[in-house]
Amino acid sequence: MSTKSEQPSVDASGEQEELPSRFEVELEFVQSLANIPYVTYLLTQHQLWQDPKFKAYLKYLEYWCEPPYAQYIVYPNSLFVLKLLNGFFDKAVVNEDGVLEGAEELPKVLQIQGGQWMNEMVERWRA
């Protein structure tokens, strides 16, 4: 896995800056899953809970749960949320229109249980 990006970008001053690597982008996204309101926003505002590509991407990201990668995770609750999301999506199937069915309850569950999960995360950090 490459840790350097291949194409630099140009900032406002005209200097080149390196783009984040795939490793960095995926790490940042996985860690963002610890933010339940953000996950709820993604799922509801962008209708990602219906997108088979998003389901496949979350499944792919499970490699972050493995020891060589998990050591880079700052917010371990993000792995809990990743597994939770994948559990919901495992039950979903793609209909003839190419839309996922069977994950309709996911945004509601996150809205109802999300606060509790965030509080539990804080309690684990205190211990």
Domain boundaries, the chain: 21-126
Least confident range from 18-22, 27-31, 61-65, 100-104: namely: 100-104
Q: How confident is the model at residue 1 (pLDDT cuts 50, 70, 90)?
A: low
CB 27 within 8 A of CB 21: no
Distance CA 12, CA 65 (A): 37
Distance CA 22, CA 72 (A): 14
Specify the pTM.
0.76
Per-residue pLDDT reduced to its tens digit, 63-85: 999 999 999 999 988 999 999 99
φ, ψ at 36 (rounded to 5°)? -60, -45
The Cβ of residue 86 has, within 10 Å, a number of other Cβ atoms equal to 15
Distance from the Cα of residue 23 to its chain's centroid: 13
Distance from the Cα of residue 14 to its chain's centroid: 33
pLDDT of residue 6 exceeding 60: no
In terms of phi and psi (left: phi > 0; alpha: psi -120 to 50; beta: otherwise), the region of 103 is alpha
Per-residue pLDDT reduced to its tens digit, 82-119: 999 999 888 888 888 887 787 778 878 888 888 888 78
pLDDT score of 124: 74
pLDDT of residue 27 exceeding 60: yes
Q: Which CATH class, in words, describes the domain spanning 21-126?
A: mainly alpha
Q: How confident is the model at residue 7 (pLDDT cuts 50, 70, 90)?
A: low
Distance CA 29, CA 79 (A): 11
DSSP string, 51-66: -HHHHHHHHHGGGGGS
